[in-house]
Amino acid sequence: MASVDHRVDTGDLPVLDSWALPEIFLTGVRKTDEQEYLATARTPKAHAYFTDHRTGTIDPLFLLECCRQAGPYGGREFIGIDPDSKFLLHSCSFRLPGLASPAAAPGELPAEIALAVDAGGRPHSRAGARKVSYAFGLTLPGGRLGTARIDVRHVSNELYDTLRGRRDPAAARPVAPAVPVEPHLVGRTRASNVVLADVVVDAGRGEARAALRLPSDNSSLFDRSYDHVPAMVLIEAARQLCLAASARISGAAAKRTTLVAADFSFHRFVELDAPVAVRLTAETRADGHGMTAALPELRSFRVEFEQGGEVAAAGRTWTTSVRTAAPAAGREMP
């Protein structure tokens, strides 16, 4: 079958559902089969959110965001997804052992990322909705980064209004942001990117808890059109609590620790106007899912998000130590 090339235009930003990021990171998309396509994205040299970390490696959530852009963009262009539909993340997972490799070192960035996308996860539809599973293989010029998967529902505006009870986004007032924990405790350099407050770690029991903090004026994390807490903010909160807990539980400094894998399921909408508790439990044995040989310092955690007495989202995370951390000052935005 002949390939079809698409250049990604900034006018497609609403279609990509990129939650107010200042850039589209995709640079091109090319169809390779009925349900498969190849996307490319470029790492930013500097970004207020995605390069505000202390490890010096590519941010795994940047890679997940590239997947969030590449999957639905190709879905619209190649498999008939309605361009006006909304994008709801049901679950996601990634395994990125290549983040600890020399190919992902700061001296090699910025770099072009290739994303091989398979949208053949038996998509099916019902009135106003279409479920699709997007699978990704991610590589850098210097080597393979790993794999990811996102399971989504593309829903019509009418169905979304029904699911949300026709809530007015302007009426959903976020809980006032609490005082953030010190950024260095969660691997950050800027307080504006910290999404946790009141962190408590019980190293003896291998547990931690925190309150979700919503810096709603951070345009990299929130958009005015959102009437709920984005799933990516929850994953960021899980990552930050893992880094804070690792330092106390296993002595792994946040600035030398990176998230390399995760599995998350999102059970219900997390509302903006009610408190959210984040809870973490360190696992005594890190089931490495084939990553243990490449990442001998692998650690795993279970994380839950509770709101109104119910678990709204839950998952597992895996972290590892990186050998060399970039100077924090070199990663800050002016």
Residues in the chain: 334
pTM: 0.87
Burial class (CB in 10 A: 0-12, 13-18, 19+), 91: middle
Q: What is the DSSP letter of 110?
A: S
Contact 145, 63 (CB under 8 A): yes
How many Å apart are CA 229 and CA 232, to the nearest integer?
Answer: 8
Strand partners, 259: 319
Q: Which of 144, 203, 140, 184 shows the shortest CA–CA distance to 325?
A: 184
Look at residue 44 in the predicted model and tell me its pLDDT: 86
Which tokens is 332 given? 């800050």
pLDDT at 167: 62
The amino acid at residue 295 is L
pLDDT at 178: 82
Cβ proximity of 311 and 305 under 8 Å: yes
The pLDDT assigned to 243 comes to 95
Question: Quick count: other Cβ atoms within 10 Å of Cβ 230?
Answer: 17
Specify the DSSP class assigned to residue 330: G
**Cβ-Cβ contacts under 8 Å for 334 (sequence gap 6 or more):** none
| SS3 label, residue 186 | helix
pLDDT for res 16: 47
pLDDT given for residue 324 in this prediction: 52
Whether residue 275 is preceded by a cis peptide bond, meaning omega within 30 degrees of 0, is no
> Are the C-beta atoms of 61 and 50 separated by less than 8 Å?
yes
Report pLDDT for 170.
58
Measure the CA dihedral 227/231/232/234, to 10°. 100
- Reported as a single tens digit per residue, the pLDDT across 321-333 is 886 544 443 333 3
Of the chain, the end-to-end C-alpha distance in Å amounts to 48
Contact yes or no for 245/316 (Cβ under 8 A)? no
| pLDDT lower than 50: segments of the chain | 1-5, 7-21, 325-334
Q: What is the pLDDT of residue 81?
A: 87
